[in-house]
Structure 1
């Protein structure tokens, strides 16, 4: 069995066991273990998988650890500070979030790899993915922790649901976007040249579309299936009830949008990896 598969299976068994014991005993002291296992399992698994596929003498285990932990924490801290200062509810809120989070992850990647003498596109993809997955792990632990608290008290079920959903979506989120940006950055020699700027803006747009997909799906659903009485309620600032059919349309549109965004990002990453195979041999060894 491959290392990444072994890590995932062992971690999954331990996480499920911790959830079951926590639910059985009601021991709140086990909640941090549930949060950490559920938030870090998928990101760590994909970092190990990426390392195995793009192994390079310049991408050491120590450098991976620095990218995941230091890069991830710096990214989360930087995003939290900038978003608290700059983000206000508005039409462009999701665009700003995308620009900020992709910007701090790229800056974190540049920081943790500043001492690298030689850089290949494949190195940038692996280390960029590692920073992105580190960011995703720490961010998911925060979301899971917040999901624990409800109006009716602590909810282990809501925590688990949050971790399952974010775990499923993790491979096509932060790690994928930063892998693309990292590959292009390293292909440019670690300098912020025009291809890097355009890539940064592109992955930020994908990020913004991803975050705003719920709102986009709601808007499209209303345009396609909205009733006059629903628009009348919206005009006076009231939230109308929705029909069962509208709920189905919204769900289908939301997931379809996320799938399209993911496919675009995966195709982009594949193009970046294709360019890595055309690099001089000295960079790919």
Structure 2
């Protein structure tokens, strides 16, 4: 009985997110289009073996090039040609292997030849491996192909630094404590996620983006930049061993937290309008996901009062799973949004 209630609650959350994405686009959406978006809208099962099956297939350089040149005027497809099928990213794994191999070579240079000149490279490349690979995965998942790699890199670099600067400003204004107790961890989560949210809003408004998958990508770019620069800074302060610890943890931290907020910004704004302070304060869907990101961050930083939970990173493993489940919900909502938008265009042509 409890399991059925939980499944029902999860289905309600997903259905609400999906239909909200539809309703925000059309004030008077027709019932037949609404039914199309809602058809087969059961709880989404996550089949990782299918999602990542292309990772293990051989791909040509031309296939990689076609992905990398997305987002220009010549390569952005019309809405009718955008695919709403579940995407199967693979290029991100090549970036992961490339960066990992580069880090390995730098490590050999440092340990085998005692070259201190390899240390800056190890800090930079080691900080890039996981966040940048996840970012490329979201770039592949943006089926609209309306954001270029240049925009993504600009957002990651400028947005990442800007969010760190704004975080420092907020830390000066809001005393946050040591970040270990639950209250202090909540304040740290609020400060850092709010700083990223402000920068995410600026970039989404600047690029005039309107789709859920766009929001996920832009949020991930800013979160990845934040994570990369923060990890490099910690590595410089606490030593190279910090890179290994923070690299695997980056699977479930700033990049996906910011991606959740990026989707929330899109969900919270009126179509073809900028996201405003009024939207931030009044839209329940934005506020819900924004608070979820803060809570995930706070729980990550909190020192759970049971030593073996912290020692074996059990809470962090749980938070990684929860974060990615939310990401997949939002991706599913984004793909359903494509079908709804295409359905309206078809109805217009048939009139």
TM-score, normalised to structure 1, is: 0.78
Aligned position for 1:119: 210
Aligned position for 2:298: 208
Aligned position for 1:235: none
Residues 102, 204 of structure 1: 8 Å contact kept = yes
Residues 68-147 of structure 1 correspond to what in structure 2 (within 5 A)? 68-89=156-177, 91=181, 92-147=183-238
Partner Cα distance (1:282, 1:64) in 2: 26
TM-score, normalised to structure 2, is: 0.64
Shift of 1:262: 1.9
Which 4+ stretches in 1 moved above 4 angstroms?
Answer: none
Shift of 1:40: 1.1
Aligned position for 1:233: none
Select the structure that is richer in helix. 1
Partner Cα distance (2:310, 2:188) in 1: 23
Aligned position for 1:177: 257
Given candidates 267, 277, 280, the residue that maps to 1:187 is 267
Cα pair distance change 1:93/1:102, threshold 3 Å:
same
Secondary structure of the residue that 1:115 maps to in structure 2? Answer: helix
User: Does 1:64 find its partner at 2:178?
Assistant: no
Shift of 1:115: 2.5
Aligned position for 2:318: 260
Aligned position for 1:251: 311
Shift of 1:38: 0.5
Q: Which runs of 5+ in 2 are unaligned?
A: 1-58, 60-89, 270-274, 346-351
Shift of 1:66: 2.0
Cα pair distance change 1:39/1:281, threshold 3 Å:
same
Shift of 1:250: 4.8
Shift of 1:278: 2.8
Partner Cα distance (1:17, 1:250) in 2: 32
Q: Which runs of 5+ in 1 are unaligned?
A: 149-158, 222-247
Residues 70, 112 of structure 1: 8 Å contact kept = no
Aligned residues: CA RMSD? 2.3
Cα pair distance change 1:74/1:282, threshold 3 Å:
farther
Given candidates 38, 43, 59, the residue that maps to 2:126 is 38
Shift of 1:142: 0.6
